Amino acid sequence: MPREKFENLLQIIGPALSRTFINDGQPIKNQLLLGIWALSTRESFCEVANRFGFRSRSTAHNLCS
């Protein structure tokens, strides 16, 4: 996904993400990136959480559920 399209998506759904999810100390941008990555790869939640610097796989699981 080109950066410009990602930034547009972030502007559109970022406010909803900030109201809906506990951010676990991570920026909304990282949460959106994690969600896109998890949906587009076959990595486990643990691997995705590690890739994006989240403290636990449960946070990654909660964001993608």
pLDDT tens-place values along the chain, 65 residues long: 899 999 999 999 888 877 665 556 677 888 888 889 888 998 887 888 888 877 765 655 555 55
d(CA 60, CA 38): 9
- Number of domain units in the chain: 1
Query: What pLDDT score was predicted for residue 43?
Result: 87
Q: What is the DSSP string of the chain?
A: --HHHHHHHHHHHHHHHHHHS--TT--HHHHHHHHHHHHHS---HHHHHHHTT-S-HHHHHHHH-
Give the residue numbers spanning the domain of 22.
3-64
Q: What is the pLDDT of residue 35?
A: 84
